Amino acid sequence: MTEESKLAEFGQLYSQYQRDNRAKLLLDLQHYFISPLQFDPVTMQALEVSLSQVCHSAIALGESKQRQDRLTRLLDHCLQAIKRILVQPRTTIIREHEMVPVYKAQRIDNRSIEWLSRQPGRNVREKLAAQPHVLAQARKESYDTSENRLLKAMLIQLEDLLFSKQPLGLNDEQDQVIDLIQQSLQAPLFKAIKPWQHMPPNNVLMQDKQYRKIWDSWQAIQQLDLQLQAQQQGGDSLLYFIFKEIVTQLLANPQCHLIEQSWQCDFQHLSLKVVVADRDSQPYQVEGIVRNERAVVKPFKLRLLPEQNIELELTNKVYSVDFHKEESLIISQLNGRLSNSIAADLMMTELFVQKLLIDAFDYQRSYLGKVRPDKPLVAELISIELGHSKPLLMLDQKNPRRLNSYLMSDQQGLDCRYSRAFDIDHTAASGVCLNQEKSDHVSTNLVEILAKIIKPSQAMHYLVSDHHSDFATINLRRDFNRYFTNASPLPKSIAAVYDLLGNNKIALKANDLFLVIDNSADALYVSPVMFKKQHDNKNKAVQVYFERHPTVKIQGKTETQLLLQALQQSYPHYPNSVLTKFIELFSYQDLSQAKFSFTLKENNEFYTVEYPAIKSSLETIVTSFQPSELSVLLKDINPNRLFYVPLSRMIICPKTGVQSYQWCEKVNLVRGSQTLLQKKQSEPNGLFWKDHLPQLSTRLLKNGQEIPFFFVGDNVSIKPVRDKAVAIPISEGFELPGGEDKIKFKVTQGKGTLKTVFPLTLSLKNRLKQPLTCHLELSYCYGDEQPYQLRFKPIADHAPFSSIKAEWGKPERNEVNVDSYFPEFPQSQTIAQLRKVPKKGSTTETIDIIDWMVRNLDEVLDYEAFYTTGSSGKRITIDSSTIDWIPNRDFGFERSHLDNGSIFIHKDELYDDFSQGEQISGNLVFNEKKNGYSLKEITPAGQLPKPDLNKLRSRLRFPLMCFNDYARDYRDSELSREHIDKIDQALQAVKYLVQSDKIPSWLYEELSIIAAYFHKNLPNYFVDKLLTDIDDKKRFREQKLLFSYVLGDVSLQWQQQLLDKILQPVDDTGVTRAVSLEVLSVAVWRHPDVIHKLSLTQVTKLIERLTGHLEHEVKHLTLKDKPYKWVSLLRRLELMLAIIRCRGSHALQIKDAVGLYSPLSELMRNSWLSINDNLGVQLHQQMQQSDSKVNSRVKLAVDKPPGYENTPDILYALKLYLTGEDGANQISITELVDSD
């Protein structure tokens, strides 16, 4: 194309369209570029869209009047601004001199005085006498402003351009624009406006919303000719058209899966935006796969290159498409050789692309043709079931149908409804997430897309899962209320029972109960719905309705688990990350559609899931439940007859406990919703269902302890009516704490395993000087974004405020760093520190634990010597016949045992049935005052006195516990060789003594405990015995101290065996369970690794056993019980504290299982709540007694705020760890007290 032949002005495109192929091509390309796009109303730039969205619909050229081009785009941008400005243009005030009556003259300046001086007369009166007018300065409103000059100039240019377009035809709006411009330019106020001088924009043009559009449009008009020159110079717009045509035809083929990505257009060059990386322009690349008729999968890459050509790369061949401007030809090449060529005619391009693709992908037939855009679904009544990528719909009671396209969007908010493939790193979400509580940021995009597809004129139901709380679905309701003026949420359980009612499948009776079972992504849920009859005395009729009760969670395989199982069976070689992504995007119903086919790409590999391949696996995945789990629920509701309603085909009838007539399957939720909508249309004020609101509560401080406060109790039921608030009475007053201007509470909705926790905030203008009691006004408005409205009204007359509205926050989720929400195990003491342990009650004195331990091990060696030889360094055996009794006195002397001196013996030291001449044993004690020996604690020969037991305990237990803490191995420690040998000797002595039949039972037990303190160094005799005794519940109970200390760090196989059996004792009931929990409560605080030796299954079972036993204690423990029972309660609380340390586990599954807000954490939290509310005060009283034996071995440094004085430290610490409140990361364990 020569410089002379180029079109110079944009208007020439219109004038030469009919006779110049170049003008026709250029203008048609603008139409094809602009028509499928949306534009930013502020910047005029093309908005980013998804590849599938922009290429899905075929764009027809249509009549010339309806075609799009740069001018029509410009008019779309500024027309409304022009109309608004013309109604009231901006003005300015100018000052002019004119003759005005004297009485109207307001401003006299120098010019006025000069004029007056030239008038005849000697003074002002005489000068004005002949003429009652004066030359004065007057203020006038003028439209001649810089911004209006620009407006006038733009209107003139628009008029010229529209006149140029007239030969092609103007649509009605464009005709009106010409009329509007002509009328405006002929108006006197516009005639007075001077020409535009091409000045820089003033503040009005830059800041005013309407005039800014005029300025942007003016700049766009100035660019029209330059853009036309650029369009003629290069082939960008034509190559863009061909590239888009290739993608469009690929998308029209259902066997082609293109990886979804953004499509960012460059309006300046009528092409795609160039990505610049490292100063080089990067090609726009599309990847995908095509499966031909012989089921051969061909991956490909399609590129729009910066060098103005297109490249289609397959495994063994490369096609390229170029535009030769000189010959005006479009040429395709295969591996560098000419394949096809056509003239640059858009009408021929479609066949050109078809031939290219058929040749490239080996198709035996031509493409099916381009897909036409979906038309909106318009109906009076619409029901839609959320939770699927292709939701189920029902319009005006016609046959249910699914959306033709996916309800899908990505993180940028792009409409991906026509997508067939994603890169796994491309963050996308489908309608599945609308049935989940984590839909915050994506629900808006998805509901906006849905609003483009369905148009209800009267009413609409969107079906939501019953287990989602009102606070967890705030965003969902907000988005539906924003895009639909007549939409209401409807629980799936109500839709299910109305489907049964509408089909007359069951002859319902009063108080019949339907248990609606839903298989969600995370659990099985049961929603009880009761059929009720009520006599209407006013109309003398019987009114029937349903009453929904709060949902409960039960055990069973979830939909996520089952779908993963099915996909793994069908595609065992697919990575789990890919299968998990499929489950995130598609529900069971989506995957069960006969035409389902979708692809994900990961690490340059394509993974396709299709219905024929997974059909058999989907038919085999099932889940069920135990009807016995629902016994407590049924007891509270007391139904007449019982029916079960599964909402998924995966839920099957239990083999026992449910009769066939009770199992009501294959319900259609949207059909039930339509039945209810029709009833509401015919009877707008009728009662159709009532809702039992879930319990809503918080916790308040009272008398130094937390107590529950209920906003909504257990038996509050309402009639849900859209946009009508229902008052919920609260009789109890609420005391606000003093000293704060922002008061926060944690509120819990629900109870049991189904709870939602969220913050409640009161923002006051000033801090309360003292506590203030308020009356509460609570209302519930069904379907609102925030259905609960709560106001605090002070009871006192002269309160600092009359009423204040509470602010509800977002539900708390497990998004916190749990690493800061578990107690750190305290550091172990070194040998040096053990030698200088502070003495209790003294600030200066210390105790040497090592010397204490080694010195008292001599007691064990003495026992060995005594039982071996009959005498030891401490205890001797003598013949009583050698005692010389002093006449008439109660003592005597033995003179033969000692080489030099005698032994004093008092008759009080003799045992009851002593007989002269017997062999006796006693402790030889030196009396410094009398400078002689005496025999104490006399027993028959070879026996020990019972008081030795207490002495042995006091001398050895404490130092041995301190030394062996943290599973210290005495052989690897810093002990001297002498001390190590002493311990070796003592352990050998223990082994000898316990294997002999001479020692009493009490000594046997004590020596066994002493040996147990040395954990991994325990003699083999004890190891074998303990492995046997653990299977005998009686021996296990009797030897609980041995099992508590012998575990050490569980580093040896036999220790792990013992731990496994303690975690699952032979008799896990009553006393045996209590003992096993007490053993564990000691063992887990002896070494930091013990708790981490537990598997996920063991942690789960332990928490269930622990919380179950604590619930039993809550019911039976009283203040009159003996202290040891309260000590046992403390030990179990210490065990719970240790279990929380699993949040620091290296095993991610265990870490998540006990993480904040996890089901197991909630189980412990519920147990803590029960103990705190029922036993907290009594436990505090027990611990505060002067000589109390109820003490925690885990000493905590806890900064408790005012008001918690009567809450034990361990209960307050558990509160922070289990609720995630501020302060949990400030708790530290200062000491682990060694005590039995």
> Which strands sit side by side in the sheet containing 696-702, from one edge to the other?
705-712, 696-702, 742-751, 754-763, 807-808
Catalogue the long-range contacts made by 573-577 (C-beta closer than 8 Å, 24 or more residues apart).
574/607, 575/602, 575/607, 577/424, 577/602
DSSP string, 1-12: --TTTS--STTH
Return the pLDDT at 440.
63
Threshold 0.85, pTM exceeds: no
Evaluate if residue 856 carries a pLDDT over 70: yes
How far is Cα of residue 161 from the mean position of the Cα atoms in its chain?
56
Strand, helix or coil for residue 349: helix
Return the pLDDT at 780.
93
Element (H, E) at 643: strand 642-646
Beta-carbon neighbour count of residue 917 at 10 Å? 10
Residue 901 sits in the same domain as residue 884: yes
- Both tokens of 355, joined, read 């031939």
Beta-carbon neighbour count of residue 586 at 10 Å? 24
CA distance 177 to 189: 19
Residue 200 sits in the same domain as residue 253: no
- Residue with tokens 């006969």, as numbered in its chain: 594
Give the CA distances from residue 35 to residues 57, 70, 337, 376, 531, in Å, rounded to whole numbers and listed in that order.
10, 11, 35, 18, 55
Return the pLDDT at 275.
65
pLDDT digits (tens, 9 = 90+) for 301-319: 999 988 778 999 998 899 9
CA distance 128 to 957: 125
Evaluate if residue 1235 carries a pLDDT over 90: no
Evaluate if residue 703 carries a pLDDT over 80: no
Return the pLDDT at 816.
46
Identify whether the C-beta of residue 215 lies closer than 8 Å to the C-beta of residue 205. Answer: yes
DSSP string, 251-311: HHSTTEEEBP-EE-EETTTTEEPPEEETTEEEPEEEEEEEE-TT--EEEEEEEEETTTEEE
Residue 169 sits in the same domain as residue 223: yes
CA distance 1091 to 1101: 13
How large is the average pLDDT for residues 471-480?
88
Return the pLDDT at 632.
67
Return the pLDDT at 585.
94
Identify whether the C-beta of residue 693 lies closer than 8 Å to the C-beta of residue 712. Answer: yes
How large is the average pLDDT for residues 60-89?
86
CA distance 1207 to 1213: 10
How far is Cα of residue 441 from the mean position of the Cα atoms in its chain?
12
Strand, helix or coil for residue 149: helix
Which of the four pLDDT bands, split at 50, 70 and 90, describes residue 5?
low
CA distance 633 to 526: 10
Residue 385 sits in the same domain as residue 309: no
Domain assignment present for residue 894? The answer is yes
pLDDT digits (tens, 9 = 90+) for 217-268: 999 999 998 888 888 887 888 899 999 999 988 888 888 999 999 998 888 8
Q: Strands 337-343, 377-385: parallel, antiparallel or unpaired by DSSP?
A: unpaired
Sign of the CA dihedral with 1065 first, then 1066, 1070, and 1075 last:
negative
- For the chain, give percent helix, strand, coil, nearest 5: 40, 25, 35
CA distance 316 to 362: 13
Domain assignment present for residue 1105? The answer is no
Element (H, E) at 749: strand 742-751
Q: Strands 541-548, 689-692: parallel, antiparallel or unpaired by DSSP?
A: parallel
Identify whether the C-beta of residue 499 lies closer than 8 Å to the C-beta of residue 463. Answer: no
Return the pLDDT at 815.
44
Query: What is the length of the chain?
Result: 1236
Convert 654-670 to b/e letters by CB count within 10 Å (16 or more is b). eeeebeeebebeebbbb
Residue 310 sits in the same domain as residue 387: no
Domain assignment present for residue 653? The answer is yes
Return the pLDDT at 126.
64
How large is the average pLDDT for residues 1163-1176?
89
Residue 437 sits in the same domain as residue 351: no
How far is Cα of residue 99 from the mean position of the Cα atoms in its chain?
78
- Residue with tokens 């904040």, as numbered in its chain: 1156
For the CA atoms of 685, 686, 692, 693, the dihedral, rounded to the nearest 10 degrees, stands at: -20
CA distance 809 to 482: 20
Return the pLDDT at 481.
92
Nearest-5° Cα angle at 536, 531 to 540: 125
Q: What percent of the chain is predicted at pLDDT more than 70? A: 94
Residue 722 sits in the same domain as residue 748: yes
Closest CA to 966 of 830, 832, 1147, 820: 830
Closest CA to 1144 of 1233, 1082, 1217: 1217
Domain assignment present for residue 403? The answer is yes
Nearest-5° Cα angle at 1183, 1179 to 1186: 145
Determine the angle formed by the axes of helices 1020-1029 and 1001-1012, rounding to 10 degrees: 100
Domain assignment present for residue 1007? The answer is no
Identify whether the C-beta of residue 1182 lies closer than 8 Å to the C-beta of residue 1127. Answer: no
CA distance 590 to 588: 5
Domain span including residue 919? 874-940
Return the pLDDT at 294.
64
- Both tokens of 857, joined, read 């091990």
Closest CA to 100 of 67, 54, 140, 64: 140
Phi, psi of 987, deg, nearest 5 = -65, -35
pLDDT digits (tens, 9 = 90+) for 916-968: 888 888 888 888 888 888 988 888 888 888 776 677 777 778 888 888 888 88
- Both tokens of 609, joined, read 């899931």
- Both tokens of 13, joined, read 């495109």
Specify which residues 1179 forms β-bridges with. Answer: none
CA distance 602 to 983: 62
CA atoms within 13 A on the CB side of 9: 10
Which of the four pLDDT bands, split at 50, 70 and 90, describes residue 818?
very low
Domain assignment present for residue 841? The answer is no
Total number of domains in the chain? 6
Evaluate if residue 1007 carries a pLDDT over 50: yes
* Range in 311-325, 583-597, 1222-1236 with the lowest mean pLDDT: 1222-1236
Residue 210 sits in the same domain as residue 348: no
Closest CA to 204 of 215, 196, 193, 194: 215
Domain assignment present for residue 269? The answer is yes
Q: What is the CA radius of gyration of the chain?
A: 45
Return the pLDDT at 213.
92
Residue 29 sits in the same domain as residue 111: no
Residue 191 sits in the same domain as residue 129: no
Which residues lie below 8 Å from residue 812, measured CB to CB, with a gap of 6+? 746, 757, 758, 759, 1157, 1220
Residue 807 sits in the same domain as residue 720: yes
CA distance 673 to 461: 7
What letter does residue 575 receive in the DSSP assignment?
A: -
Residue 163 sits in the same domain as residue 38: yes
Closest CA to 487 of 320, 722, 192: 722
CA atoms within 13 A on the CB side of 605: 8
CA atoms within 13 A on the CB side of 366: 9
Which of the four pLDDT bands, split at 50, 70 and 90, describes residue 326?
confident
What CATH number does the domain containing 757 carry? 2.60.34
Evaluate if residue 1054 carries a pLDDT over 50: yes
Strand, helix or coil for residue 1146: coil
- Both tokens of 750, joined, read 């629900």
pLDDT digits (tens, 9 = 90+) for 964-1000: 888 888 887 788 888 888 888 888 988 888 888 788 8
CA distance 567 to 627: 29
* Range in 290-294, 353-357, 528-532, 614-618 with the lowest mean pLDDT: 290-294
DSSP string, 870-938: S--SSEEEEEGGGEEEPTTSSEEEE-SSSSSS-EEEEGGGS-TT--TT-EEEEEEEEETTTTEEEEEEE
Evaluate if residue 550 carries a pLDDT over 50: yes
Which of the four pLDDT bands, split at 50, 70 and 90, describes residue 540?
low
Domain assignment present for residue 910? The answer is yes
Closest CA to 665 of 792, 517, 849, 560: 517
- Residue with tokens 């007859």, as numbered in its chain: 641
Identify whether the C-beta of residue 265 lies closer than 8 Å to the C-beta of residue 47. Answer: no
- Residue with tokens 């250029």, as numbered in its chain: 26
Beta-carbon neighbour count of residue 973 at 10 Å? 17
CA distance 694 to 714: 7
